[in-house]
């Protein structure tokens, strides 16, 4: 029976395909005693064999579709299965304790996991704990005869359905087959949604119940423009959705004609439309959409894509590639922003009640300056290959900015003393994403070369509404006059000191926000590459003089987010 769900539109595009449930099955079991230990060991061996075969298959597929590096994590898993110390211990436990293989597996892996996790001074071994957990889940699933979802094995067109997707789940999706994804939870600015936009995979998040409403293989239509999801659509609904998809494709083709055009308003003013990237691979989208700069390179994805802390040379190569490709256009690299919803298996962070208010981003970098210095050295060396901007995430105080800048200057001086070639036009800026910093923007402006406004966090922190929580998503209000006042204050403060202000939060590519930002004189708009042409086309139709009047009313007269949505409609009719 046809059923309609409404979620949060998270990535543009429309798709129809069958559902692929990326949901963990129930793997609960009870301990039991066994009589025939040999038969039980036999059962264990067969589960181990099946797991190894499955991993080999996944490894080959992952190498083919995602690259050799992404596939290597599965080698580590297979090595564990081939390790007699691990498998032998499970076998002995079955025989000695006369318990079922499920329980023996759990006992042995728990022992290994706690042993590795206790090695807090050895990130490599700590990471093995995560591998053992993954492997033992796979073996357990085979013992229980339940199928684990294997996204790397998807080889036909599907729509992925999940409770939530982590950024690393999202990175594994193969665009060739995954036509869209839909989740129970999450918001438009959660990192999986941001990645969906850079992969140009349509997505609807925060439907609350999709994993309960749909079964594996059922047909779905997903509209990432409106947030509508239809389960078992009728023929007419499929036709309507195909028509909508065709209209959207036509619209995109029209935007594509602006690929090499400058971003100019109706009254001839030029602004920079830049793109956000997570990895050098995203440059394809940046070039295909004709972005004029990279306004945010989220360098933490480099750390997340790696099995251990990336070396200075690894980082240098990645930054150099991006700078060279974009040169002479600017690339703003943000130093590592780990914490919140982004984790590194090899850098375990303490359990925190409020990770988004906790040990995150520059707070980690200043604490672990060994990691920070390595990153800055790699950036400095790469700066010779293009036009580099560096910015620090989550700056709350001037002291933090100055401390980070001091470390930067120290590393720079060392490299210069060693005769290493360094760009002479590196700009040093900061993310404006913490209200305390936004309020003091006039003072910060004296210390920085530029600001980049991170609305994803700035809205979350100002409204005290978690950016990824669909229950409070109604409070996630980019056009609320409180947010607009902060944004205007930041832009004015930068301009007063002769500095530039950009925005790299998702609001920079939002068609309702752009007219207001033009009126405020924001210099640079950095967004998912897939939004660049849409925004360039919109800018062409707007005059800055009119938009100034709009911005003035939006900031000084409106009382709510909704007031401002109406105001923008009026001014852009
Ligand atoms: C761009 C931002 O950073 P991130 O989304 O990576 O937190 C932001 O907070 O707006
Ligand atoms: Mg942020």
Q: Which pLDDT tens digit goes with each residue over 501-514? A: 999 999 999 999 99
ipTM: 0.99
Instruction: Specify the length of the chain in residues.
Output: 573
Decide if pLDDT at 89 tops 70.
yes
Distance between Cα 454 and ligand 2 center (Å): 5
CB distance 504 to ligand 1 below 6 Å: yes
CB distance 509 to ligand 1 below 6 Å: no
Q: Out of 66-75, 388-397, 464-473, pick the least confident.
A: 66-75
pLDDT of residue 467: 84
For the domain spanning 3-23+151-253, the CATH number is: 3.50.30.10
564 belongs to an annotated ligand binding site:
no
Q: Are 66 and 104 in contact (CB under 8 A)?
A: no
Indicate the DSSP class of residue 339. B
With the most atoms of ligand 1 within 8 angstroms of its CB, the residue from 194, 457, 528 to mutate is 457
Rounded to an integer, the average pLDDT of 529-556 is 97
The 8-11 sheet, strands edge to edge: 3-6, 228-231, 219-223, 14-21, 158-162, 178-183, 203-205, 8-11
Please tell me the pTM assigned to this model.
0.81
C-alpha distance across the termini of the chain, in Å:
40
Decide if pLDDT at 150 tops 90.
no
Decide if pLDDT at 71 tops 80.
no
Indicate the DSSP class of residue 309. P
Q: Which CATH superfamily is domain 257-572 in?
A: Phosphoenolpyruvate-binding domains (3.20.20.60)
pLDDT of residue 123: 67
Decide if pLDDT at 99 tops 90.
yes
Q: Which pLDDT tens digit goes with each residue over 189-207? A: 777 788 788 788 999 999 9
Mean per-residue pLDDT of the chain: 93
Residue 447 known to be catalytic: no
- Residues paired with residue 79 on neighbouring β-strands, in sequence order: none
Distance between Cα 505 and ligand 1 center (Å): 5
Q: Are 195 and 215 in contact (CB under 8 A)?
A: no
Confidence of residue 470 (pLDDT cuts 50, 70, 90): confident
pLDDT of residue 477: 96
Q: Are 525 and 535 in contact (CB under 8 A)?
A: yes
CB distance 61 to ligand 1 below 6 Å: no
Distance between Cα 206 and ligand 1 center (Å): 19
- CB count, 10 Å around CB of 356? 16
Rounded to an integer, the average pLDDT of 511-520 is 98
Domain boundaries of the chain, sorted by first residue: 3-23+151-253, 37-144, 257-572
Q: Out of 133-137, 314-318, 387-391, 441-445, pick the least confident.
A: 133-137
Decide if pLDDT at 172 tops 80.
no
- Taking alpha carbons only, the member of 494, 484, 486 closest to residue 555 is 484
Q: Which atom of ligand 1 is nearest to the CA of 453?
A: 10
Alpha-helical regions (H) of 257-327: 283-288, 300-304, 312-326
Residue 163 known to be catalytic: no
Q: Which pLDDT tens digit goes with each residue over 450-469? A: 999 999 999 999 999 988 88
Decide if pLDDT at 271 tops 80.
yes
**Any residues with CB less than 8 A from the CB of 37 and at least 6 apart, and which?**
94, 95, 98
For the domain made up of 37-144, the CATH class stated in words is: mainly alpha
């Amino acid at each position: 029976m046809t059923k309609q769900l409404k979620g949060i539109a998270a990535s543009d595009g429309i798709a129809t395909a069958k559902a692929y449930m990326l949901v963990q099955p129930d793997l609960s079991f009870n301990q039991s005693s066994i009589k025939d230990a040999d038969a039980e060991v036999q059962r264990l061996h067969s589960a181990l064999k099946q797991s190894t075969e499955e991993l080999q298959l996944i490894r080959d597929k992952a190498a083919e579709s995602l690259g050799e590096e992404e596939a290597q994590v599965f080698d580590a898993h297979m090595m564990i299965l081939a390790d007699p110390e691990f498998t032998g211990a499970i076998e002995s436990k079955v025989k000695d304790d006369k318990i079922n293989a499920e329980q023996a597996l759990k006992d042995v892996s728990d022992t290994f996991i706690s042993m590795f996790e206790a090695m807090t001074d050895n990130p490599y071994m700590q990471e093995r704990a995560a591998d053992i957990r993954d492997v033992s889940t796979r073996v357990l699933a085979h013992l229980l005869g339940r199928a684990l979802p294997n996204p790397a094995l998807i080889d036909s067109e599907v729509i992925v359905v999940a409770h939530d997707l982590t950024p690393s789940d999202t990175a594994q999706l193969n665009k060739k087959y995954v036509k869209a994804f839909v989740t129970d939870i999450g918001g438009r600015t959660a990192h999986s949604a941001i990645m969906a936009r850079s992969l140009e995979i349509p997505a609807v998040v925060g439907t609350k119940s999709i994993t309960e409403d749909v079964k594996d293989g059922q047909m779905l239509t997903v509209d990432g423009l409106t947030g509508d999801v239809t389960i078992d659509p009728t023929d007419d609904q499929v036709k309507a959705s195909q028509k909508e998809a065709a209209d959207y494709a036509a619209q995109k083709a029209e935007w594509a004609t602006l690929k090499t055009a400058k971003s100019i308003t109706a009254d001839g003013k030029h602004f920079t439309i830049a793109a956000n990237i997570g990895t050098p691979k995203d440059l394809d989208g940046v070039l295909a959409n004709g972005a004029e700069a990279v306004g945010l390179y989220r360098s933490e994805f480099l750390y997340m894509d790696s099995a251990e802390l990336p070396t200075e040379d690894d980082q240098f190569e990645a930054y150099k590639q991006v700078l060279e490709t974009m040169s002479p256009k600017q690339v703003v690299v943000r130093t590592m922003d780990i914490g919140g919803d982004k984790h590194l298996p090899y850098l375990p962070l303490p359990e925190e009640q409020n990770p988004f208010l906790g040990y995150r981003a520059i707070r980690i970098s200043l604490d672990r300056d060994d990691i920070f210095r390595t990153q800055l050295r790699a950036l400095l060396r790469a700066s010779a290959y293009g036009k580099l901007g560096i910015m620090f995430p989550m700056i709350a105080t001037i002291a933090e900015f100055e401390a980070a800048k001091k470390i930067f200057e120290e590393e720079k001086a060392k490299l210069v003393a060693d005769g290493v070639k360094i760009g002479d036009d590196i700009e040093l800026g900061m993310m404006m994403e913490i209200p305390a910093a936004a309020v003091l923007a006039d003072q910060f402006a004296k210390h920085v070369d530029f600001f980049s406004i991170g609305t994803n966090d700035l809205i979350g922190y100002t409204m005290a509404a978690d950016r990824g929580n669909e229950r409070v998503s109604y409070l996630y209000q980019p056009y609320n006059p409180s947010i607009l006042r902060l944004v205007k204050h930041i832009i004015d403060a930068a301009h007063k000191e002769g500095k530039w202000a950009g925005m790299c939060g998702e609001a920079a590519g939002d068609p309702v926000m752009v007219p207001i930002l033009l009126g405020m004189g924001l210099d640079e708009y950095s967004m998912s590459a897939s939004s660049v042409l849409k925004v360039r086309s919109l800018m062409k139709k707007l005059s800055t003089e009119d938009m100034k009047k709009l911005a003035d009313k939006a900031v000084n007269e409106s009382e709510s987010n909704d007031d401002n949505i109406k105001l923008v409609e009026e001014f852009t009719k």
